[in-house]
Amino acid sequence: MTEVAKRVELILKDPQDSLVVLSGCGTSGRLAFFIASRFNEALKQLNRTLVYSYIIAGGDRALLSSQEAPEDDPELGMLSLQKVCEGKKRVLFIGVSCGLSAPFVAGQLDFCLQHPEVYTPVLLGFNPTHQARDEPIPGCTFTFRSVAQRLQELAQRRKAFLINPAVGPEAISGSSRMKGGDFFYFWLHTELFLPMEYERAVEMTYQHREGIAALVEAAGRSLQNEGGVCYLGWGPMAFLGLMDASECNPTFGADYADIRGFIRGGYKDLNNNEGPLSSLGPDFCIAHEDFLHQVLPSLTDRDTVLLIYTQSDDLHEVVNLGRKVREKTSNIHAVHHRTDSVEALQQVTFLSFGCFFFVLDHFLFPKLILNKLCIFDTFWQWELSTKLVLNAVSTGAHILKGKIYRNHMIDLQVTNSKLYRRAARLLQKLSGQAETECEGALLKAIYRADKLTEEITSCDITAHTQVARSAKKVVPLALVSLLTGCSLKQVESLNLNLYSLDTITGTGLA
């Protein structure tokens, strides 16, 4: 890690024709974007050359919505890396795949290994090398594991780097959006810019356990009652809301309207490579203006709204929007970050909001505003803290909705080869039945067919995952069908809520 930090330092000192590229899929790609943007912002303020760049599988639309299919494409990964690095003579490439699994990233790492005169590859993930994915990648001679092993060998001579601490599996398995993501965020900050103390941010956040629990309950009630949760954010913190919301779709089978994020100035504030994407549909409309037009008119007490802002944001604006929301729902809350040096500002906040807001605002950090770097330090602690709170809110709310079975997020979307295999493994683990039965049940649920035809079984995984994009509750349906012996039609007529899974399977419904 120290060695990687030194390489970054060299690039920062002599940025001519150099680049640090962060790349990943899903959550890893979103964090790559967020961190590259934040670091470039910091460099801008210090009048330094911008050296950070990001790549996310599926392009910028994947920043806001689930696009797992491109994760399977190593060539796409390689081509997008080549494009970003055109004309560069020195590139530090940081490929992130929490599970050491994404072919998109494997393709990029392989390309770096073939061009050592320009690229120094770094692989960041949270899995031991021998557990990296070893499934053949169509059209390639390498697997993720073989690439990781090559990196490991070169790492001894400092020609490549493999950073894969085991930070433990996700408490609720099935997504890299929580612990893996937190560590990725934390690691990049400490290694790529300047060493900082994040432990305190975590401690301070969880001092607000009760407040966070209240938020989880409110959001959970909304989801249970077919309402929605909206994050209305200001400044960089707003993207964390967008990111948290977009992850709920592949992780919990959620609809885009269940949890939505909005950022004050929309794409102008997001500052992504591809610019505005609102023309792609309502789920890509992300500005507060869009919230006012699309969501506010039909907002009710069933919905939860969470404002996310800091002392640096325009409080009058926060108050104005807050008042509009309050006219429609009493279920309005706020995460407010401040340092302990702004008592006056805090008073304003309380005066304006006190009567109707639950304000989770005592994030007291030491007075760090000594120089510009310390301002970033404080901001980054707030960002980590916000990520922790939002992950807790959305995960907890989905648990309350009944999306978790025996500690597994089983209503995942089966939209790429990794997720297809994960779904099949989950079915085996939870039903105790053989692999072929489980895969059969999975296919039946994807195609909504009670019998598997030749047409279905002759298709490959890519075709199955394309059909699965529009199928709902695939794994829960397959599981109940496996456990009860009921046909898919019978199971579907139950209008499944995972809360009732144990009851259904325990009473021998068949």
H-type alpha helices, 253-367: 267-270, 288-290, 315-326, 343-353
Minimum Å distance from CB 24 to ligand F1P?
Answer: 6
Q: Which is nearer to ligand F1P, 24 or 261 (CB)?
A: 24
Q: Smallest distance from the beta carbon of 405 to ligand F1P, in angstroms?
A: 17
Q: Provide, rounded to whole angstroms, the least separation between the CB of residue 327 and ligand F1P.
A: 37
| Residue located via tokens 């002599």 | 14
Q: How far is the CB of 128 from ligand F1P (least distance, A)?
A: 14
Per-residue x/- track, 188-227, ligand F1P (CB under 6 A): ----------------------------------------
Toward ligand F1P, which CB reaches closer, 148 or 488?
148
Give 256 or 353: the residue with its C-beta nearer to ligand F1P: 256
Q: How far is the CB of 412 from ligand F1P (least distance, A)?
A: 8
Residue 157 dihedral angles phi and psi, to the nearest 5°: -100, 15
Q: Angle 474-484/435-447 helices, nearest 10 degrees?
A: 130
Asked if residue 232 binds ligand F1P (CB under 6 A), the reply is: no
C-beta of 250 vs 261, nearer to ligand F1P: 250
The site string for ligand F1P over 136-175 (x = CB under 6 A, - otherwise) reads: ---------------------------------------x
Tell me how far apart the alpha carbons of residues 245 and 240 are, in angstroms, rounded to a whole number. Answer: 8
Tell the smallest beta-carbon distance from residue 250 to ligand F1P (Å).
6
Token pair in block for residue 105: 């990233």
In the complex, minimum distance from the CB of residue 395 to ligand F1P, in angstroms, rounded to a whole number: 12
- For residues 71 and 105, give the distance between their C-alpha atoms in angstroms, rounded to a whole number: 8
Q: Which of 38, 177, 444, 464 binds ligand F1P (CB under 6 A)?
A: 177
Instruction: Report the alpha-carbon angle 32-43-11, nearest 5.
Output: 75
Closest distance to ligand F1P from the beta carbon of 82 (Å): 20
Using CB positions, name the residue nearest to ligand F1P. Answer: 26
| Residue found under tokens 């709920």 | 248
On whether the CB atoms of residues 309 and 235 are closer than 8 A, the answer is yes
Nearest to 446 by CA among 462, 430, 428: 462
Q: How far is CA 87 from the centre of its chain?
A: 31
431-450 binders of ligand F1P (CB under 6 A): none
Question: Do β-strands 161-163 and 229-233 pair in parallel, antiparallel, or remain unpaired?
Answer: unpaired
Of the two residues 26 and 235, which places its CB atom closer to ligand F1P in the complex? 26
For the CB of residue 172, give the shortest distance to ligand F1P in the complex, in Å.
12
Q: Could you say which residues in the range 256-315 bind ligand F1P, by CB under 6 A?
A: none
For tokens 């070169």, what's the residue? 154
Query: What residues from 2 to 41 belong to the interface with ligand F1P (CB under 6 A)?
Result: 24-28
> 363-400 in b/e burial notation, b at 16+ Cβ within 10 A?
bebeebeeeeeebbbbbbbbbbbbbbbbbbbbbbbbbb
Tokens of 23: 């790349």
CB of 259 to ligand F1P, least distance (A): 15
Which CB sits closer to ligand F1P, 63 or 196?
63
In the complex with ligand F1P, the residue whose CB is nearer, 255 or 450, is 255
389-428 binders of ligand F1P (CB under 6 A): 419
* Shortest CB 456 distance to ligand F1P, Å: 24
Using CA atoms, how far apart are residues 33 and 61, in angstroms rounded to an integer?
Answer: 12
Query: What length is written for the chain?
Result: 510
Instruction: Choose between 107 and 227: whose C-beta lies nearer to ligand F1P.
Output: 107
Nearer residue to ligand F1P within complex by CB, 71 or 361: 71
Q: What are phi and psi of 465, to 5 degrees?
A: -70, -25
Residues between 234 and 253 with contacts to ligand F1P, criterion CB under 6 A: 250-251
Task: Evaluate whether 385 touches 338 at the Cβ level (below 8 Å).
Answer: no
Minimal distance, residue 491 CB to ligand F1P, in Å: 25
Nearer to ligand F1P, 42 or 397 (CB): 397
Tell me which DSSP letter residue 312 carries: T
The set of residues, in sequence order, having a beta carbon less than 8 Å from that of 374 and lying 6+ positions away, is: 368
The identity of residue 510, as a single letter, is A
By CB under 6 A, the residues from 344 to 383 that bind ligand F1P are: none
CB of 474 to ligand F1P, least distance (A): 15
Among 23, 143, 176, 394, binds ligand F1P (CB under 6 A): 176
Binding footprint of ligand F1P, residue count (CB under 6 A): 18
- The Cα–Cα gap between 464 and 468 comes to 6
DSSP-derived pairing of the beta strands 404-405 and 408-409: antiparallel
**Of the candidates 264, 234, 258, which has an alpha carbon nearest to the alpha carbon of residue 244?**
258
Sheet holding 332-339, edge to edge: 259-263, 229-233, 304-310, 332-339, 358-365
Stretch 60-99 residues interacting with ligand F1P (CB under 6 A): 68, 71, 97-99
User: Which tokens sit at 262?
Assistant: 């909005």
Residue ranges binding ligand F1P (CB under 6 A):
24-28, 68, 71, 97-99, 101-102, 175-177, 250-251, 419
